[in-house]
């Protein structure tokens, strides 16, 4: 059974989320929004709104992802998230509240730029998420405790494992990365700092943060908990720092950057540095973790390239990104200005 604009009102009635009258009045607006799993926004004539995910191929791996998301959405001690309504395991459906007039942070920053109140909110909400005591045993069996794929680049065996997927662009990227032997060693070294102590979001990026503009403030919520896992909290933090850097890199092509010039032009943008510093100051869970955070950010830049390489040739982009990632991983001290004054 697959949901569509025609059967959805009846489905929500059957599950007790709408009265008979409300379901008869029908759907006012329906908008597909998801990527991996099939997400859509549903606004009913009666004014009740939902965000629904239904996985396209209900095979095991995918249903596990939705199950993870349902577990976090039901956690009572973390409130900066949509309201959970139901998880229908049989049909691979998850229903939660539609956050009204929300934009994801990716859209928001594209339109508004790097506003400081957003950095503050984001730091506070992410640190709150990492301090929540989730019942770990909920997640233990089902969540894989593998470190992120990018760490596999650190060893020859890991690189072969990644190449086994036989994705043309991935293989091409790995070969391009292998042109930086000291980077491979630095990745292996950074892997030793990976600590799986916290329940982390696992897919932290701007698109998975929702922002609502209130009268004179902003409200931030986290979404898309499909990849929660026991991991290193700084990995989530690095996801945000990397997302911000990627926005900057795409905006201006920093072609003038060479690994031989002392500083990356990123560091010259005061508004941008202020934004990251504000985010980090408000997160403030781990003091003196800046060096590791910058290294993780470099790793996430490479991880992002690996993600894009699943669909497209990234060799050109890699030429710009890899020297920066390498610098961040091998000489993180140079980039402290991104995080602290
Ligand atoms: N509860 C919600 N309310 C409003 N918009 C949402 C909600 N959940 C997700 N979205 C929007 O839909 C997009 C995709 O949803 P997400 O849960 O991240 O699915 P995917 O796994 O496909 O990334 C988000 O980036 C966000 O813009
Ligand atoms: Mg998402």
Local confidence band at 154 (pLDDT 50, 70, 90 cut-offs): very high
DSSP 221-242: EE---TT-EEE-HHHHHHHHHH
Q: Whose CA is nearest to atom 2 of ligand 1?
A: 98
Distance 146 CA to ligand 1 centre (A): 25
Q: Which two tokens stand for residue 64?
A: 């596990």
Local confidence band at 253 (pLDDT 50, 70, 90 cut-offs): low
How would you classify residue 258: left for phi > 0, otherwise alpha for psi between -120 and 50, otherwise beta? beta
Tell me which of 3.30.200.20, 3.40.50.620, 1.10.760.10, 3.40.190.10 is the CATH number of domain 8-98. Answer: 3.30.200.20
pLDDT of residue 252: 67
Local confidence band at 165 (pLDDT 50, 70, 90 cut-offs): confident
Q: Which two tokens stand for residue 293?
A: 């955070």
pLDDT of residue 294: 97
Question: For the chain, what percent of residues have pLDDT higher than 90?
Answer: 75
Average pLDDT, integer, range 40-61 = 88
- pTM for this model (two decimals): 0.93
**Best mutation site among 93, 223, 226, 239 for ligand 1 pocket (most ligand atoms within 8 Å of CB):** 223
The answer to whether residue 260 scores a pLDDT higher than 80 is no
The answer to whether residue 111 scores a pLDDT higher than 90 is yes
Measured from the Cβ of residue 206, the count of other Cβ atoms closer than 10 Å reads 21
CA distance readout (Å), 116 to 22, 158, 252? 41, 40, 21
The span from the CA of 118 to the CA of 221, in Å, is: 11
Distance 33 CA to ligand 1 centre (A): 6
pLDDT of residue 265: 79
Residue 200 CB less than 6 A away from ligand 1 = no
Q: Round the average pLDDT of the chain to a whole number and report it.
A: 91
pLDDT digits (tens, 9 = 90+) for 191-250: 999 998 899 999 999 999 999 999 889 999 999 999 999 899 999 999 999 999 999 988
Local confidence band at 60 (pLDDT 50, 70, 90 cut-offs): low
The span from the CA of 105 to the CA of 112, in Å, is: 10
Local confidence band at 45 (pLDDT 50, 70, 90 cut-offs): very high
Residue 33 Cα: closest atom of ligand 1: 12
The answer to whether residue 37 scores a pLDDT higher than 70 is no
> Is residue 80 exposed (0-12), middle (13-18) or buried (19+ Cβ within 10 Å)?
middle
The answer to whether residue 189 scores a pLDDT higher than 90 is yes
The span from the CA of 175 to the CA of 171, in Å, is: 6
Q: What's the farthest any 2 CA atoms get from each other in the chain?
A: 69
Residue 104 CB less than 6 A away from ligand 1 = yes
pLDDT of residue 166: 79
The answer to whether residue 53 scores a pLDDT higher than 90 is yes
Domain map (residue ranges) of the chain = 8-98, 103-338
The answer to whether residue 149 scores a pLDDT higher than 90 is yes
| CB 330 within 8 Å of CB 291 | no
pLDDT of residue 167: 87
Instruction: Using the Cα atoms of residue 15, residue 16, residue 17 and residue 19 in order, give the sign of their dihedral.
Output: positive
Tell me which of 3.40.718.10, 3.90.1200.10, 1.10.3720.10, 3.40.50.11890 is the CATH number of domain 103-338. Answer: 3.90.1200.10
Does this chain's domain 8-98 share its CATH topology with 103-338? no
The answer to whether residue 46 scores a pLDDT higher than 90 is yes
Question: For the chain, what percent of residues have pLDDT higher than 70?
Answer: 91
pLDDT digits (tens, 9 = 90+) for 275-314: 999 999 999 877 789 999 999 999 999 999 999 999 999 9
Higher pLDDT, 66 or 36: 66
Low-confidence winner among 58-62, 95-99, 116-120, 121-125 (lowest mean pLDDT)? 58-62
Distance 202 CA to ligand 2 centre (A): 11
Average pLDDT, integer, range 8-26 = 97
Higher pLDDT, 241 or 59: 241
pLDDT of residue 258: 61
Distance 40 CA to ligand 1 centre (A): 8
Instruction: Using the Cα atoms of residue 245, residue 202, residue 186 and residue 163 in order, give the sign of their dihedral.
Output: negative
pLDDT of residue 259: 60
CA distance readout (Å), 300 to 32, 57, 194, 240, 341? 28, 28, 13, 10, 23
CA distance readout (Å), 105 to 121, 217, 284, 298? 12, 15, 21, 21
Residue 51 CB less than 6 A away from ligand 1 = yes
pLDDT of residue 285: 77
Ligand nearest to the CA of 207: 1
pLDDT of residue 288: 84
């Amino acid at each position: 059974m697959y949901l569509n604009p025609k059967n959805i009102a009846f489905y929500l009635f059957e599950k007790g989320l709408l009265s008979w009258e409300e379901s008869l009045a029908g759907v006012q607006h329906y908008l597909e929004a998801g990527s991996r799993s099939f997400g859509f926004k549903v606004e009913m004539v009666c004014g009740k709104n939902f965000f629904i995910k239904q996985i396209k191929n209900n095979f095991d791996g995918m249903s596990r992802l939705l199950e993870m998301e349902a577990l976090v959405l039901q956690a009572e001690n973390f409130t900066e998230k949509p309201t959970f309504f139901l998880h229908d395991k049989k049909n691979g459906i998850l229903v939660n509240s539609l956050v009204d007039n929300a934009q994801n942070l990716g859209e928001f920053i594209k339109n508004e730029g790097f506003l400081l109140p957003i950095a503050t909110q984001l730091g506070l909400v992410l640190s709150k998420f990492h301090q929540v005591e989730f019942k770990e045993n909920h997640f233990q069996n089902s969540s894989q405790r593998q470190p992120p794929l990018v760490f596999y680049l650190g060893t020859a065996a890991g690189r072969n494992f990644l190449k086994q997927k036989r994705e043309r662009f991935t293989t091409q990227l790995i070969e391009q990365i292998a042109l930086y032997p000291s980077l491979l060693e630095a990745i292996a070294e950074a892997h030793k700092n990976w600590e799986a102590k916290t329940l982390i979001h696992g897919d932290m990026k701007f698109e998975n943060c929702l922002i609502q503009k209130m009268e004179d403030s902003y409200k931030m919520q986290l979404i898309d908990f499909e990849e929660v896992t026991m991991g290193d909290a700084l990995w989530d933090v690095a996801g945000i720092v990397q997302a911000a850097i990627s926005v900057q890199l795409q905006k201006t092509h920093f072609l003038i950057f060479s690994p031989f010039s002392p500083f990356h032009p990123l560091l010259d943008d005061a508004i941008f540095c202020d934004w990251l510093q504000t985010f980090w100051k408000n997160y403030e869970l781990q003091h003196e973790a800046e060096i590791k955070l910058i290294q993780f950010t470099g790793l996430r830049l490479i991880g992002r390239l690996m993600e894009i390489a699943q669909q497209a040739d990234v060799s050109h982009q890699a030429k710009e990104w890899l020297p920066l990632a390498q610098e961040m991983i091998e000489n993180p001290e140079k980039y402290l200005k991104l995080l602290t004054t």
